[in-house]
Amino acid sequence: MLKKILINLFPKNFKNENVKINKLAYVTNTNFSGNNYVDRFCRIRNSSFGSYSYIGYNSDINNVQIGNYCSISSDVKIGLNSHPIHLFSTSPIFYSDTNPFGKKINKISYDDSPKITVIKNDVWIGTNVIIMEGISIGNGSIIAAGSVVTKDIGEYEIVGGIPAKIIKKRFDKETIKKLSDSKWWEKDAKELINSQFHL
């Protein structure tokens, strides 16, 4: 019985030598650009990973578009479903046929699929971060551990807290413009190292 359960957790029909998905991760309907890593006990659905992006232990994401060179830590939650607050009840029994009770009795029309969350390039997301659905995270930004992100984050911003607020910019305006204009994240890591790219 245990063997059958574990087999159901394994990623299916995915073959790419440059992508490593732990055997204890659940991945479905997700695309990988290459040189990616998914740690154990992750749950990843309806998403895409850019090159050299990885995600740590026990993270859960749904409907997330991740750019290149992103570092996502452990126990991160991104783009999970929300409940409607304008109806008489927030219980999914009244608006979703995929409710945990398995009952198909709802008569209310409500789209409970999460809005797409966009994480651009070179983003570092710390441990235990929660990012609400439909958020956009700018290139080069950093989200401090334990933060709850409820609003869009701009390029090269460092944010933290509940709700997350800007702490500071990583670089001055001139450096940010230089990095943004270079679009260095579109190049392969080996090419960047050989070119000795720096600020």
Judge if the upstream peptide bond of residue 114 is cis by omega within 30 degrees of 0. Answer: no
Q: How far is CA 63 from CA 1, 36, 49, 55, 102, in A?
A: 31, 17, 11, 15, 23
CA distances from 112 to 50, 102, 106, 158 (A): 26, 15, 13, 31
The residues facing 165 across adjacent strands are 160
- Of the candidates 71, 30, 64, the one whose C-alpha atom is nearest the C-alpha of residue 11 is 30
- DSSP 3-state helix, strand, coil percentages of the chain (rounded to 5)? 15, 25, 60
Q: Hey, which residues does 66 pair with through a beta bridge?
A: 49, 119
Active site residues: 83
| CA distances for 130 relative to 4, 47, 143, 150, 159, angstroms | 32, 16, 10, 9, 13
The residue with tokens 């701009």 is 154
